[in-house]
A and B are shown apart, each in its own frame.
Chain A
Amino acid sequence: MEILCLGLSHHTAGLDLREKFAIPDGEIAAAATALSHAPGASEAVIVSTCNRVEFYLAAEQTADGFAAINQFLAARAAALEGDAFFRLPTEGTIRHLFRVVSGLDSMVLGETEILGQVKKAYAAASGGGATSRHLNKLFQRAFNVAKEVRTKTNITRGSVSVGSVAVELAEKIFGRLKHCKVMILGAGETAELTAGALHSRGVQSIFVANRSYDRAVTLADKMGGKAIHFEEWQRDFHDVDILIGSTSAPHHVLTTAQLAPIMHARPDRPLFCIDLAVPRDIDPGVAKLEGVYLYAMDELQQFADHSMNTRRQEVVVCEQMIERHAASFLEWLAGGWSAEGGRYRGPDPGDAPEGANS
């Protein structure tokens, strides 16, 4: 039996082309079932996300399998054009799937959302009867590989965007954010994204102060916060835990002299300052005050870069793990079932395959 994959991803095709071949969630199960019944095919799983559309097939002959996918796509969307589609034989398919679920093939290296998406695609195909022993084993093994890669390496470590870095730092200062009060000075795009990331973690309240009050109201409404006039931001500031500065003011909006008495009055309550403005809104001198944690755009970006570098350094280790599992799976595929109850013998004897939806 051959296992093969035909697909396109953000590496090979632009959004226009990916959109053209994408299959909506509601149709995935039926499409996988239809493909598995196509002449030359015996099992099928279709993974369709915003960054990839991939068809995994088990077939007696590689050529017949690819022909089945071609016909399926031609009937459904359009004929395959150019070299946007990649075609992988058995060995390449196994390695590719293991890399995809481990986040190594993702646009953001190490992201974890793809694992859930592939699990969902597999569950849909499996529920529709489109999979059998070969793809069942392959996908279950892939989920085990993803789990091992994530727990034994640093491939998911740290945050890689400014918003998520801000959230991670806030959580390292305050623990849970549900009691935190956030104030945004200025309503720039990055400030909005950062505040949105904090809002998604359930911060207690958000104050938005902007020179254009209407813009402040719009942003505050979006996040269930409260808009305040820019001239009045200092009135509510003493009670704030996280300050996001993003105005276009040519001078510091918050100075050390302003902040020092406020921090003196609340020595046991830290303040996390996120300065996203250029020129800076917050006097760098405030970082010397006890209990004040100041991060400007450069530091947040450095933090994100550091996380990304850590992830990149882990790729080699991840690839080695994947290689080991791929070789073991190929061995199983060549030898068929083991003597003891048809169990897959992976490279790690203690690592039993997970359930389909785990």
Chain B
Amino acid sequence: MDRLLLVTSTFCFLFGFAYTMHALGARVYKPSRLNFFAILTGFLFQTGFLYARGQMDGRCPLTSLFEVIIFLAWSMVLFYLLIGPTYRISLLGAFTSPLVFMLQVCALLLLKDVPVKSHAIPNAWLELHAALSVVAYGAFALASVAGVMYLAQERQLKTHHIHSIFYRLPSIHDLAVANHRLIITGFILLTAGLGAGFAIGNIFAHSALTRWSIGVWLLYGFILAAGLRHRISPRRVAWLSVLSFSVILLSLGGLNFISEKAAR
């Protein structure tokens, strides 16, 4: 039943993806309520899946890489729904739905969906740490989407090669602002997540996952500090946000392997 909810939500994002491809191909992309509602419906099904998993696991559904990926995809859509309409970056949804779709398809097809059973009583700090951290990565993911949009628009402006998407993408200023604010949001959430983790004590402080999280925190801290001190161009911030999230995504699998090995 829970997987059915997830598959349905994946189809909603597939619809958003297909709609975007069709509209861009037809060269008359218009922000559409249809696309927004497809994403919203997908989000509701995702939420239903995570709720069902939470009930089943008896804890926050972050017990396996499969669940982490779905939670991450859910966080991305959450941020899109929160900031997309606010900043009128309607095309962000068009770029978000393909990424969410691909994340969910990869999770469904490539990852083992076996919740890790634990008889230990759930630790509230650990759950808070895990949830805040993954939501933070959702914000970083959306920042990378805004970064891709920035780079696409900036390249067109720089090279004078104008494609039809040029007219629909927001200004590079608006995209830089969205990118910056998403990084700030992710950084604050990750800081809070790490703080919650340290409340657990030594077990947390010495894990590979903690070192990795601190590495991510430092990386985004550097991007933010450089941006706030006006020492780095928005283009470099965009590149860094795209590269940083790619590193997060690629290292998640390896990290999961290390964590599982350490747990055994």
Contact = CB atoms under 8 A, between A and B. Distances in A.
A172 B30 CA distance: 17
Nearest to A306: B162
B235 A291 contact: yes
B171 A172 contact: yes
A153 interface: yes
B264 interface: no
Contacts of B117: none
Contacts of A152: 28
Contact of B171 (A153, A175, A266): A175
Interface stretch (A131-139, A200-208, A295-303): A295-303
A151 B160 contact: no
A188 interface: no
A237 interface: no
B98 interface: no
Contacts, number: 51
A3 to B, nearest CB: 32
A267 B231 contact: yes
A337 B20 CA distance: 41
B174 interface: yes
A88 B264 CA distance: 87
Contact of A175 (B162, B174, B233, B234): B174
Contacts of B167: 157-158
A171 B232 CA distance: 22
Interface string B146-162: 00000001000110101
A169 interface: yes
Contacts of B28: 152-154
A87 B258 CA distance: 83
Nearest to A272: B157
A213 interface: no
Contacts of B234: 268
A115 interface: no
A295 B156 CA distance: 12
Contacts of A173: 157, 171-173
A157 B164 CA distance: 9
Given A169-B157, A171-B171, A293-B157, A267 B162 contact: no
A196 interface: no
A174 interface: yes
A87 to B, nearest CB: 36
Nearest to A292: B158
A291 B171 CA distance: 14
A19 to B, nearest CB: 37
A291 B173 contact: no
B173 A268 contact: no
Contacts of A266: 230
B158 A287 contact: yes
A290 interface: yes
A327 to B, nearest CB: 23
B232 to A, nearest CB: 6
Contacts of B233: 267-268, 290-291
B171 A268 contact: no
A129 interface: no
A303 B162 contact: yes
24 contacts: A152-B28, A153-B28, A154-B27, A154-B164, A158-B167, A169-B157, A172-B153, A172-B166, A172-B171, A172-B172, A173-B157, A173-B171, A173-B172, A173-B173, A174-B171, A266-B230, A268-B227, A268-B232, A290-B233, A291-B233, A291-B235, A293-B157, A295-B160, A303-B162
Interface of B: 27-28, 30, 153, 157-158, 160, 162, 164, 166-167, 169-174, 227, 230-235
**4 nearest A-B residue pairs (beta carbon):** A175-B171, A175-B173, A267-B233, A268-B230
